[in-house]
Each structure stands twice: as C-alpha cells, then as structure tokens.
Structure 1
C-alpha cells in the first residue's frame, strides 16, 4: 500500500511539474541547488506517514506498532469494550503476542507450500461484511474511521485459514482414534444417562511457569471485558490459543468428565450465562463460559422445534407512550383470543400489522424469557406482546411443536469429537514448537 501511495504521489507531482513548464527554466541546477528545487514549494498529495519502527521481527518479517494499534482497535470494536489505561496496555501485550503467533502460523503454511489466495480472503471478507450488513468497502471505511483497518482483518483471516490448513496437513492426517476408544465413550454415555451436560465456550491462554502471572492477569482482563458487555466469541477469536478459537471458543455439548479435572470441577458449580474465573490448567490458563445445561439422553422441552407466526405492529417515529400504550393494550387483549394460528392474519388486518411465518425455530435458541413463555403455551396460543415503540411490538403465535427424542450419538459423532480433542492438543504443541524455533528480534 505504501509503494502504491508513493507511486501516485510521484506521478501526480510529475504531471504538475510538466504542466507548470517553468520549473527547469526558473531553477537551474547549481552546486547549491543540485536538484533545482524552487524556493516556494507546492506540496501535492497527502502527508507521508512518520517512519514506523519495528516492534518485532519474526523470522525476518516485521510487526510494527501500527499493526498492533490497528489490531487492538479492531478488537475493541468487536468486543465493544472501553478498558482503562492499565487494562488497555495488557490487551496491547496480548495482541502483540497473538500477532507473533499469527505470523508464525502464516510462515508455517508458506513453508509447507500451502497457498492461500487473495480470492479466498476476499470471499471471507465479504461474508464478514455481510454479517454486519455492509459491503467490504463500507466496512473498510468504518474500520478506518475507528483506528483499525481492513488490512488487519485480512491478515487475521489469512492466519486463520493458514492454521486450519496446517492442522489438516500436519496434524489431522496423523491423528488416529481407535475403535476401542469410541466404544468406551459410547459405554460411558449409556452409563451416564440423565447426568448433566453443558454447552461450553473456552478461551485458552498458554503460559509457562515464568509467564503464569502475566497470563492470569490477561485472563482477568478478558473476563472483566466480557462481564462489562463484551462478546465472549470475539474475545475467544482474538485471544484463545485453542483450535476452537476460529469458532469463537465453542466446545459444543460436553460432560464434565470429558474435560480436564480443573475445568470440570469449576463447570459443575456454574449455571447458564456464567463465566468462570481464570482456571490454571496444564500449560496455561482457561476461561469457560456455560451457555446452557441439559441432561444426557433425557427429553427436554427446550429441544423442541417450532413452527410460528409473528404479528408485529410498528409506530411512526416520535409516537409518544401516551398514544401507543392504549394500542398495545388492545393488541395484547386481541392476541389472547387469537383463535389459533389461522387467526394471525385477522389480527394483523385489525391492527394494520405485518405477519411473518417461520419454520424450524429451535426453542433452545430463543431468548430465555421467550423459552419460558413458549414452553408453557399450547398450540394456537400467542405470547404476550414483546418489543419496543422504536423497534415495533409483536406477538409470536405457536403453530406447531416437534419434540426431539434424545438419542445416543453415533459412532461417527464420537469419533469426530475425540479426533477434535486430539487435534486440539497437538495443535497447541505444534505452535509451541514454532515459537521455540523462531528467531524473534524484539525492538
């Protein structure tokens, strides 16, 4: 990018000088003025950036302070956090460490002759932008205005793709799970029917004995950020060194005995929605978040798949509560006697509302307040009105409910889970070896 800017500046300046025509005549070359520079200099284009010193050189590749600043800004945008000056410095050090690891991962892929094309990165950028309802160009401008850049996003995507490919080539291909191991897990599952199972997210920060205190402080900072409203998924993607970082730290549904005992002991004491304190584990620190709890191989009404209709009314901008509340009260009263799913259209017509139908709605994925409300409803009933004057007020009409019958996971599912755990462990060791063998010059 820097070379392109210089080229544009050079061509622009040259064109202006040619158009001026008098430069060479009025400013002859002399020993005092060997370049023939004019006394009154006109500057074209944008100011050149200050020289940016390298913060580290990793196997010959430079990581600058700008790289760190832009990645840190991107993290703060993603997590919507406002840390203190002290907390910001801790985050900066963690970002620096992550950039070093990311550089090593990209270099390892290159050494293994794994090619990652710009087109692949472009497609991922387009998906990321679409998730926030922007085009890549709009997202680039948004990031630039907040101190980040599309370049740091592209580099992170490059690193994630590189690491996945490296795992596929060097780790997954050498991982083997035996038939006896899978059968043993299936037997334990059968024996544990009715026991607690947890949907868990994890952030893993590696540490040695010498760096454990720093890792613990970094973990505490991450926990504070999440508890203040930051996204666990965003923090996991940025800071976790587990292979699950690419999916926001999601471990899926697990039982305590499937995890290291320090984590299992903490998890058994947690309720859905809670995040743990830093947990010392072999090789580092883990943070876990319990998203949900269920019983193994036991029917749960929240596993139901629903068919629903949503009836929503909207108010013009500036509508006062005094005007809107009587309408909402009549809407609530009418929804109580909606007369089944077929009555949604009449309710919508009476209130000039909009009807949207939805199939395959997973009850467990709805907000907790709606889960409780809908679990107690009969087919054909409507929820109480929900929403706001600004976003619209709506009711959900329950049109159908299919309750899933819990079954034992298949052989292939167990095999995939065991293989993932093994790959995760080997990936951590491989990254550790990359760090150990790297030539890193800190500046």
Structure 2
C-alpha cells in the first residue's frame, strides 16, 4: 500500500534518502492486471505510422482544462531533480526527465482542479507553513536563504509551493470523498493480529518503492524509463527525489516509503526481490501487475522481536586532529600511536587520563542508539564488551577517533502494532487503491492541448 501521510510532513523533492519518513506497516498497492485485453480496441499487429513526431514543433507546454503549464514550470521542476543528482544528469536524460515532469505536472493540475471543483481551498498560509518547515527541517536555513538557494539551482519557491499545494489538495480531497466510505471490520483487524503473532521471529522489510504504470503498448518504454531512473539513483541520485517526482503511487509524498511489510503482503515479484536484497540496495525495474517498480531496501527486522540495533549505548569518544599540511605518512604514524594508547585503556574511568596524556579531546554521550551509528561501525561497537575501545577510524582531514563502550541498555521485546494502527493501515490501503482509479478517471476526462 502506498500510504497517505499528513501534509505537514511534505518533503522537498531533493531531500536526502536518509530522511525517508517512517510509516506504519503497509502493503504494496497493485493495479489491474496487464493480461486483460483492452476491450473495444482493434489494433493490427502489422501497421504503418503516417507522419513523424517533430520535437521542435511539439514543445513541453500544455493547456489542461484551460490551465496553462509553461516551459518555465517544467524547467523549474526539472531543476529540483537535477539538483538532487548534483547537477550530473546527462543531456539525454534531461530530455526524458522533461517529458516525465510534464506528465507529472498534468496530473498535479488535474488533482488541484478536482479539489477546487469540490470547494476545497488550500490557503497560502497553509502552503507557507509547510514550505517553512521544509526550509528549516531539511536545510536549516531562513526563508530568504532558502529562496536564494533554489534560484541558484535554476528553480524557484513557486514551483515547490505548487507541488506542496497539489499534495495538500489531493490528500484533503481523498479524505473527504473517499475515506468516509471505506469500511474495515474488526474481524479483519483481529485476523491480521493473529497472523502477526503466528509470524513472530520472521523477517519483515522496510521498503521504498517507485511505481509506474504501463499500458500493454507502453511496456518497453516504461521499462526503459525505469532503468534510466535506476541508473541515476545508483550514480548518487536521491531515491526520495525520484520517488516524489515520478512515482505514480500516493507514497510519492513520503519519498516512496511503504513502511514495514512482510513478503506475504507484497506481489510475488516484489517479495522475491525483497528477500534477496541487502539493506541499502536498489533494484529494478521489477514487473508487477499493471506496471513496474524500483525497490529500495531501507531496513529489515524480525517481527515482534526486539532489534538489537535499538540498544541504547553510553559512549566515550577520544579524538585527535592533524595540523594543516600533515602528510599521509605522518598521519598514519600518529594514528598508530593513538591506537596503541587507546587499546590499552582499562574501562571508561581511565579514558580521561589517557586522553590527557596523548593530547586527545574527549566527548561523552549516554543516549546513542546503535542503529544510528554509521553502518561500518555498528558491527564493531555491537561486539565490544563494556570498557573496550573500538579500532581507530577517521581521515587526515577529519582526524582519528575511537569509541569506548561505557554501558549498554538492550531493547525489550518488540510490541505488535495496536488495533488502531492496523485499522488505519487497512483504511489507507483501500483509499490508495481508490485514489489510483480516481486519478485515472480524471486523466480520461481531461481536455489537454499541447503547444
């Protein structure tokens, strides 16, 4: 299921993948099976295309039920995606992305129009509030600095505010027109609770997904588009950014985050891919009924089992830095001396004295969660006994550090999701399925003119 979240959690298109928002456990949404023939269409296998599509004549602007989408609108939204990739998108990729951005802007326009037709008004104050949160939470900048930042990237505050408005309007429309008519029975919830208890100890996965639908006559084109997106992500592009801009699921607003799911909750092809992935890996395109998905394995855990990585650690850090101009050889020698001195530390009580003797700085932190440490450090620290120091780590630029484990509080047994959480999950799943159909109908009825 592609979860609908509160508009207050809207994130900018190029937020880092590490900022993917947590969601309640959910299932991946599917659409109608491609194997169903298109009733009423009679397309011959052997055909001739009369005329050619000239890209110099058909420009990336459109009129959607009377509302204009300009080339500037497309360019500013595209700039957000390019910024997410550090400006490294190739000219060929830009052309493809420009077409996809235009399609997304058309959908966004249809959603805003439908909300307004239902007398749903998103006030400028609401948009500004979310925009300010984006600036402060993701960039820790004041609004003026953030505005300048967007302009230097070739974008603008207007395009981001327009995206925020679309997300707020569509979310509110679904809550008004669809959510009240979704019914979930107590028996369904209790059945899921029973299955969770029966599955205790088995693995579940937190997955990010970029989903794109594919009509039978567009399968190859969509698959190629997905492969291009995957290449950009593997080259350092933000998964969150691509999910927000291109995923056709409502979880686009959360950077594609599906939340915690078990393989049984996913379509077979996605389940088979998920169980073979490593945390941090991105794979795709994976064919699913109705389209393709790119998967990102954010994390994994054991159902209703305490995750040892949630242990709260008390750590003491000793660090040395290198003067400007220090060579690699000099730094290596100094780091070796530092390693010898710190490995002889006998418990945290002796750390301060050792730090003074070797000229190291010392920092204490009693509330460090193991899983919040960088990946390479997690296994190292997890295997330390109380009072032991890690191997030195760092660089010439950043200095060298060791961590000493002073204490560890292991997590208690994980609790099952509450009745209300599961109820909300099922409701969201059904709302999202209806939302796909709703948007499909809006596209079908739209009058769209291209210039």
Mean CA deviation greater in 57-66 or 209-218: 209-218
The answer (yes or no) to whether the contact 1:237–1:248 under 8 Å persists in 2 is yes
Secondary structure at 1:139's aligned position in 2? Answer: helix
Deviations 1:62-87, CA, capped at 9 Å, x for gaps: 11111111111111102336233332
Report the CA distance between 1:255 and its aligned residue: 0.5
In the alignment, what sits opposite 2:415?
407
Report the CA distance between 1:181 and its aligned residue: 0.9
Deviations 1:108-133, CA, capped at 9 Å, x for gaps: 22223333232332233333233224
Q: TM-score, normalising length from structure 1?
A: 0.81
Asked if residue 269 in structure 1 is aligned to residue 272 in structure 2, the reply is: no
In the alignment, what sits opposite 2:111?
105
Report the CA distance between 1:346 and its aligned residue: 4.0
The answer (yes or no) to whether the contact 2:318–2:360 under 8 Å persists in 1 is yes
In the alignment, what sits opposite 1:440?
448
1:259–1:138 Cα change, 3 Å: same
Residue of 170, 174, 196 corresponding to 1:167: 174
Report the CA distance between 1:216 and its aligned residue: 1.5
Secondary structure at 1:382's aligned position in 2? Answer: coil
Note the 1:66-85 alignment, pairs <5 A. Answer: 66-80=72-86, 82-85=88-91
Whole-angstrom CA distance in 2 between matches of 1:188 and 1:263: 20
Whole-angstrom CA distance in 2 between matches of 1:242 and 1:206: 9
Residue of 31, 34, 57 corresponding to 2:63: 57
In the alignment, what sits opposite 2:160?
153
The answer (yes or no) to whether the contact 1:81–1:229 under 8 Å persists in 2 is no
Whole-angstrom CA distance in 1 between matches of 2:431 and 2:395: 46
In the alignment, what sits opposite 1:37?
none
Asked if residue 188 in structure 1 is aligned to residue 199 in structure 2, the reply is: no
Asked if residue 291 in structure 1 is aligned to residue 298 in structure 2, the reply is: yes
Structure 1: tracts of 5 or more residues without a match: 1-52
Deviations 1:261-306, CA, capped at 9 Å, x for gaps: 2322222232222222212223322111112233323344223233
Structure 2: tracts of 5 or more residues without a match: 1-58
Deviations 1:374-431, CA, capped at 9 Å, x for gaps: 1101223332222222233322332332222223322222222222222222222222
Asked if residue 124 in structure 1 is aligned to residue 134 in structure 2, the reply is: no
1:318–1:373 Cα change, 3 Å: same
Whole-angstrom CA distance in 2 between matches of 1:119 and 1:350: 58
Note the 1:273-422 alignment, pairs <5 A. Answer: 273-350=280-357, 352-404=359-411, 405-422=413-430
Whole-angstrom CA distance in 2 between matches of 1:158 and 1:348: 54
In the alignment, what sits opposite 1:426?
434
Asked if residue 252 in structure 1 is aligned to residue 259 in structure 2, the reply is: yes
1:57–1:354 Cα change, 3 Å: farther
Higher relative contact order (CA 8 A, sep 6+): 2
- How big is the alpha-carbon RMSD for the aligned residues of Structure 1 and Structure 2? 2.3
Report the CA distance between 1:149 and its aligned residue: 1.9
1:150–1:387 Cα change, 3 Å: farther
Note the 1:232-251 alignment, pairs <5 A. Answer: 232-251=239-258
Whole-angstrom CA distance in 2 between matches of 1:121 and 1:352: 51
1:377–1:233 Cα change, 3 Å: same
Whole-angstrom CA distance in 2 between matches of 1:347 and 1:316: 21
Report the CA distance between 1:353 and its aligned residue: 4.5
The answer (yes or no) to whether the contact 1:79–1:234 under 8 Å persists in 2 is no
Mean CA deviation greater in 124-133 or 66-75: 124-133
Whole-angstrom CA distance in 1 between matches of 2:263 and 2:237: 26
Secondary structure at 2:125's aligned position in 1? Answer: helix
Structure 1 runs, 4 residues or longer, greater than 6 Å off: none
The answer (yes or no) to whether the contact 1:58–1:438 under 8 Å persists in 2 is yes
Secondary structure at 2:107's aligned position in 1? Answer: helix
Higher-Rg structure is 1
The answer (yes or no) to whether the contact 1:303–1:362 under 8 Å persists in 2 is yes
Deviations 1:28-64, CA, capped at 9 Å, x for gaps: xxxxxxxxxxxxxxxxxxxxxxxxx871011211111
Report the CA distance between 1:369 and its aligned residue: 0.8
Report the CA distance between 1:254 and its aligned residue: 0.9
- Report how many aligned residue pairs link the two structures: 391
Q: TM-score, normalising length from structure 2?
A: 0.80
